[in-house]
Each structure stands twice: as structure tokens, then as C-alpha cells.
């Protein structure tokens, strides 16, 4: 009896798949990539970020005095699609609020065209065994990946553009 129980538990243990583990992807090392200081209030910084996104063809999905989010679509190949979302959070860095920190994250989602064929037949009983084939195809964009952009050069260019719109704001005030 005990030998039978051990044999069964051994079989069940062999059926269980091991839990896949991943090496930690987060390092928490540099704060320079995703944030910059601005000589402006959080509202001014977020307005400059909104203008920077609009100037590059982003559709603004959220805009407030302390946050801006924009989205842009790309189609590099006929059967693939990319969607970039950039989110900016503006926070005061000094007690008087005249210096702010802008935190930016860019997320890129990748989609691919998935085709599936469907077929069916129709039998008409009154006419006998006549079958007419029907076929159709469904195409759908399927998300195949998502990643946070981590390129220092990408964020440097974005922050430079935000600074350019802050300078324009200062000239108008």
C-alpha cells in the first residue's frame, strides 16, 4: 500500500511543471534617464511636455497640471504595428514650486497580423446531398510584445524638446 502511494505521488510529481523564474530586470541605478529638473512650475513643465508631444504627432489622452500622456501609432511593415505611449509626471522639487521634476516613461507595444481561415459546408436536404463550401478568413492584430524604452538618447531628445517649449513660454510671459 505504501509503495503504491509513493509510486502514485512520484508520477503526480513528475507531471507538475517547474515554475519559470526570471532574472530581475530592474536595477534602480540611474535617475538621469527618466527624469530632469526644470526651472518652471509643474504646470508649466507639463504644458511644455504636452506641446512637445503634440509637435511630434502624438494624440493626447490625458492632460492635467501634473500629468500628460500621449499615444502615437506606427506601421513599419504591412503586417506589423507599433504603438508608443509616453507618460509625463510633473512634480515640484522646491518648497516654492518654481523648480519641478519631470518624470517620463515611454512604452512601446508591438502587434502582428494573425490570419485564421474558417470553412464550413451547407447541405440542402430537399435537393439531396448538395454541399456548398463556404470559406472565410479573419485577420486580427495580436499583441506580441511590450517594452519600456530605456535609451538615454531618446529621453535626452524628448527633454530637449520640452525645454524648447519652456523657453517659448517664458518669452510669452
Query: pLDDT (tens digit, 9 = 90+) per residue, 40-81?
Result: 999 999 999 999 999 999 999 999 999 999 999 999 888 889
With respect to residue 156, please indicate whether it lies within any of the assigned structural domains: yes
Question: Which strand (E) or helix (H) includes residue 114?
Answer: strand 100-124
**SS3 for 77?**
strand
With respect to residue 44, please indicate whether it lies within any of the assigned structural domains: yes
What residues make up the domain containing 150?
A: 31-172
Q: Is 0.75 surpassed by the pTM of this model?
A: no
With respect to residue 21, please indicate whether it lies within any of the assigned structural domains: no
In angstroms and rounded to an integer, the radius of gyration of the C-alpha atoms of the chain is 27
Residue of 56, 20, 79, 13 whose CA lies nearest to 160: 56
Query: pLDDT (tens digit, 9 = 90+) per residue, 130-164?
Result: 555 555 667 788 899 999 999 999 999 999 999 99
Domain count, the chain: 1
CA dihedral defined by 26, 32, 36, 37, rounded to 10 degrees?
120
Contacts of 35 (CB under 8 A, 6+ apart): 101, 102, 103, 104
Residue of 132, 113, 106 whose CA lies nearest to 121: 132
With respect to residue 145, please indicate whether it lies within any of the assigned structural domains: yes
Amino acid at each position: 500500500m505504501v509503495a503504491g502511494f509513493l509510486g502514485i505521488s512520484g508520477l503526480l510529481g513528475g507531471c507538475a511543471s517547474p515554475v519559470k523564474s526570471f532574472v530581475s530586470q530592474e536595477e534602480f541605478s540611474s535617475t538621469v534617464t527618466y527624469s530632469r529638473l526644470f526651472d518652471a512650475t509643474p504646470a508649466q513643465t507639463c504644458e511644455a511636455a504636452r506641446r512637445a508631444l503634440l509637435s511630434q504627432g502624438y494624440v493626447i489622452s490625458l492632460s492635467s497640471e501634473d500629468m500628460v500622456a500621449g499615444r502615437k501609432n506606427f506601421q513599419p511593415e504591412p503586417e506589423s504595428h507599433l504603438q508608443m505611449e509616453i507618460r509625463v509626471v510633473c512634480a515640484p522639487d522646491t518648497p516654492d514650486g518654481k523648480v519641478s521634476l519631470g518624470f517620463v516613461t515611454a512604452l512601446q507595444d508591438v502587434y502582428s497580423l494573425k490570419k485564421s481561415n474558417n470553412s464550413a459546408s451547407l447541405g440542402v436536404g430537399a435537393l439531396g446531398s448538395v454541399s456548398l463550401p463556404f470559406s472565410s478568413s479573419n485577420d486580427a492584430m495580436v499583441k506580441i510584445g511590450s517594452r519600456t524604452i530605456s535609451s538615454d538618447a531618446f529621453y535626452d531628445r524628448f527633454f530637449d524638446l520640452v525645454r524648447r517649449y519652456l523657453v517659448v513660454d517664458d518669452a510669452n510671459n
